[in-house]
Chains A and B, each alone.
Chain A
């Protein structure tokens, strides 16, 4: 069965960096795109972008460029989210999610069929 297991919660000071991992199992890692979703305390889901697990090319969403870096280590079926220069407003639960589906002739059938358990990143002095 498919599992996405994320790293444990982190407490960081403003200005520091954090690296969240997402280890996949139960399927061929390079066959599905890996997405990242943020959920601030008491808020909804916000898509951060995705990484092509075949090519390693990341596509961050608007607002998640610069300080946010998506990477992979396909040898261990693991995706990473690194956030640098942390700010208090980065405090959130970060989820990885496997995306299945595709786009054809302008119509997209994409869904997040499996999710990691989430990693709480708290930024506080």
Chain B
């Protein structure tokens, strides 16, 4: 059971928009910054969003992040088949003194 809760799967058609939620508590999302990671099939995770809403260089602006209270959201617009991957949210949990991840969300682009 992950400390952060994500939907197991989401799907949308090419060109459409999708959002992935990540729910936590005051000890993690509520008081710390959230990152999002993309894991394409058979590859290592890759940083997509950090500090709630910042994109590393090279990440297209189709990807966005936001945070409100104890929840965070990853948004992807203009979906492409190459976006099919597992997406994980992550943050620090101050009560556990541990890095925590969501269980991951599998994105299918129909």
| Chain A interfacial positions (CB closer than 8 Å to B) | 35, 37, 44-47, 61-62, 95, 97, 101, 103, 106-118
Say yes or no: B44 contacts A116, CB within 8 Å. Answer: yes
Say yes or no: A113 contacts B92, CB within 8 Å. Answer: no
Most chain A CB atoms below 10 A, which of B37, B43, B44, B91: B44
Q: Could you say which interface size class chain B belongs to? A: 20 to 34
Say yes or no: A109 contacts B103, CB within 8 Å. Answer: no
CB distance from A27 to the nearest CB of B (A): 14
| Chain B interfacial positions (CB closer than 8 Å to A) | 2, 31-33, 35, 37, 43-47, 50-51, 56, 86, 88, 90-92, 94, 96, 98-104
Say yes or no: B104 contacts A45, CB within 8 Å. Answer: yes
A-B contact pairs, 14 of them (CB 8 A): A37-B45, A45-B45, A47-B100, A62-B96, A95-B44, A101-B50, A108-B32, A109-B33, A110-B32, A113-B56, A115-B44, A115-B45, A115-B46, A117-B44
The distance in angstroms between the C-alpha atoms of A107 and B98, with both chains bound, is 13
CB distance from B9 to the nearest CB of A (A): 13
Residues in A with CB closer than 8 Å to B96 are 62
CB distance from A22 to the nearest CB of B (A): 12
A-B contacts besides A62-B98, A107-B31, A110-B91, 17 pairs, CB < 8 Å = A44-B86, A47-B98, A47-B99, A62-B96, A106-B31, A106-B94, A107-B33, A109-B32, A110-B99, A111-B50, A111-B51, A111-B90, A112-B90, A115-B45, A116-B44, A117-B44, A118-B44
The distance in angstroms between the C-alpha atoms of A118 and B44, with both chains bound, is 6
Residues in A with CB closer than 8 Å to B99 are 35, 47, 61, 110, 112
Say yes or no: B101 contacts A46, CB within 8 Å. Answer: yes
Residues in B with CB closer than 8 Å to A114 are 47
The distance in angstroms between the C-alpha atoms of A117 and B46, with both chains bound, is 10
Residues in B with CB closer than 8 Å to A108 are 32-33, 91-92, 94
Residues in A with CB closer than 8 Å to B44 are 95, 115-118
